[in-house]
Amino acid sequence: MSSVTERETGMDQTAKLELGGKEITCPVITGSEEEKGIDISRLRAETGYITVDEGYVNTGSTTSDITFLNGEKGILRYRGYRIEDLAAHCDFVEVSYLLLYGKLPNDQELHEFRMSLRRHTMLHEDMRSFYNGFPRDAHPMAILSSVVSGLSTFYQDSLNPSDPEQVRQSELRLIAKLPTIASYSYKKSIGQPFVYPQNKLSYCENFLNMMFSVPGEEYEIDADFVSALNMLLIVHADHEQNCSTSTVRMVGSSNANLFASISAGISALWGPLHGGANEACVNMLERIIADGGNVKKYVELAKDRDSGFRLMGFGHRVYKNHDPRATIIKAACDKLLAKLEIKDPLFEVAQELEDVALNDSYFIEKKLYPNVDFYSGVIYRAIGIPVQMFTVLFAMGRLPGWIAHWKEMHASAGKRICRPRQVYTGPTCREFVPRENRS
């Protein structure tokens, strides 16, 4: 018989666990937003037991100062600042500084950071040949993960996780080069020449120019697209211990270099249940439109567990209320499409789908709301980003968050290699059978 009870003892709480007559008292960690966690670091040593929690639904991997989420209230803050304020008043480079260094930069700090990034936007010319090795229809997330890992072969002078200067060099190189690597993968896919970075341009202006300009004509950068892109990168910039960030921490905990750790995070983000949902969501909306726009049919399909169909861009492990990012993105969708006088059937269907789902008892009971991936694709399409690049844009946004968590993990006093336990359920010990005696 086991039970867990919390006892208030002065400032600190403890949790008492009774296991088969044994008793263990675990400290309770209280975060700055009053979140509570039971510290079970002594559990196995004192009881021989471990805990098991498939998918880590109830298990925290660490404490962190970077991002706070409250899924019940739909709250998201980076280093204490509300995502709504950051999206409204900052650009992506400023928010990247906040995530990496823990404070909003003053004018001088921001200027120096921008200039530092601009010195690293180019890729080593030998890396251009990487792209010749990929088939034309290679998925850009595969290219992104491969080329980012390849950066470690060109920057062997900045791989040591314990050297702050080498880490700073690597973080600048990654943030500066990801737009270049991404845009090269797009140009490769359409057979157009790669466009070199223009360091007189801002981060998002530069990305749009590398994506859409061609040697034969002037490319006019649309300020509305730049503004929308900054907002999208900001709302994607971090989200505490999500699947890809936990992957970056896990891989980094072995003292693998930052490039290798980020490459692993890119691969985790690619999954359709995670960052790949933005691409899957647009494909789903297009499927609904092709099927006559019958939204109710697909809502019913999503409710049938045996259908294998889910509303992509809907639901979240943490948010059981509106994802504040979806709210910000949806408002920006409205504004951008109205300004461009675009009537995108995808946006119409997405809004109808949201209305139908949010009034359906299945979604209400399971607290399933649109997440960050539900409307982002509509804006990416309006900008002209191809669907296969949507998750690449997510990775570009998430990069400063990944790096911040990797650095926080390395700076932690309790840092050790991540190596979860398990409960074995396979065959018990068996006598070996020589091959000639096997049936």
Q: Which residues are catalytic?
A: 316, 373
Q: How many other C-beta atoms lie within 10 A of the C-beta of residue 156?
A: 8
Q: Is 3 helix (H, G, I), strand (E, B) or coil?
A: strand
Q: Which is nearer to ligand SDX, 126 or 304 (CB)?
A: 304
Q: Is 310 in the site for ligand SDX (CB under 6 A)?
A: yes
Bridge-based pairing of strands 67-70 and 81-82 is: unpaired
Q: Binding ligand SDX by CB under 6 A: which of 100, 141, 262, 372?
A: 372
| Nearest by Cα to 170 from 184, 183, 154 | 154
How far, in Å, CA of 87 to CA of 398, rounded? 14
Both tokens of 182, joined, read 């991404």
Q: Which is nearer to ligand SDX, 344 or 373 (CB)?
A: 373
How far, in Å, CA of 359 to CA of 405, rounded? 37
Q: Binding ligand SDX by CB under 6 A: which of 273, 331, 342, 364?
A: 273
Question: Burial, 19: exposed, middle or buried (Cβ in 10 Å; 0-12, 13-18, 19+)?
Answer: middle
Q: Is 311 in the site for ligand SDX (CB under 6 A)?
A: yes
Q: Are 225 and 212 a contacting pair, CB within 8 Å?
A: no
Q: Which is nearer to ligand SDX, 40 or 311 (CB)?
A: 311
Q: Which is nearer to ligand SDX, 123 or 368 (CB)?
A: 368
Q: Is 317 in the site for ligand SDX (CB under 6 A)?
A: yes
Q: Is 381 in the site for ligand SDX (CB under 6 A)?
A: no
User: Which residues within the stretch 219-258 sit at the binding site for ligand SDX (CB under 6 A)?
Assistant: 239, 242-243
Distance of closest approach, residue 105 Cβ to ligand SDX, in angstroms: 24
Distance of closest approach, residue 81 Cβ to ligand SDX, in angstroms: 17
Q: Write the Ramachandran bin of 384: left for phi over 0, alpha for psi from -120 to 50, otherwise beta.
A: left
Q: Binding ligand SDX by CB under 6 A: which of 268, 368, 396, 409?
A: 368
Distance of closest approach, residue 69 Cβ to ligand SDX, in angstroms: 7
Q: Is 268 in the site for ligand SDX (CB under 6 A)?
A: no
Q: Which is nearer to ligand SDX, 365 or 431 (CB)?
A: 365
CA 163 vs. chain centroid, Å, equals 26
The Cα-based distances of 318 to 31, 264, 323 in angstroms read 17, 23, 9
Q: Binding ligand SDX by CB under 6 A: which of 140, 150, 161, 315?
A: 315
The helices-and-strands tally (H runs, E runs) of the chain is 18, 7
Distance of closest approach, residue 416 Cβ to ligand SDX, in angstroms: 24
User: Which residues within the stretch 11-70 sit at the binding site for ligand SDX (CB under 6 A)?
Assistant: 55
Q: Are 277 and 313 a contacting pair, CB within 8 Å?
A: yes
DSSP state of 219: -
How far, in Å, CA of 21 to CA of 188, rounded? 66
Q: Write the Ramachandran bin of 3: left for phi over 0, alpha for psi from -120 to 50, otherwise beta.
A: beta
| Nearest by Cα to 75 from 110, 24, 35 | 35
Q: Is 364 in the site for ligand SDX (CB under 6 A)?
A: no
Q: Is 79 in the site for ligand SDX (CB under 6 A)?
A: no
Site size for ligand SDX, by CB under 6 A?
24
Q: Is 415 in the site for ligand SDX (CB under 6 A)?
A: no
Q: Which is nearer to ligand SDX, 24 or 318 (CB)?
A: 318
Taking CB atoms, the residue at the shortest distance from ligand SDX is 315
Q: Is 399 helix (H, G, I), strand (E, B) or coil?
A: helix
- Binding track, positions 275-304, relative to ligand SDX; x by CB under 6 A: x-x------------------------x--
| Residues contributing to the site for ligand SDX (CB under 6 A) | 55, 239, 242-243, 273-275, 277, 302, 305, 310-318, 366, 368, 371-373
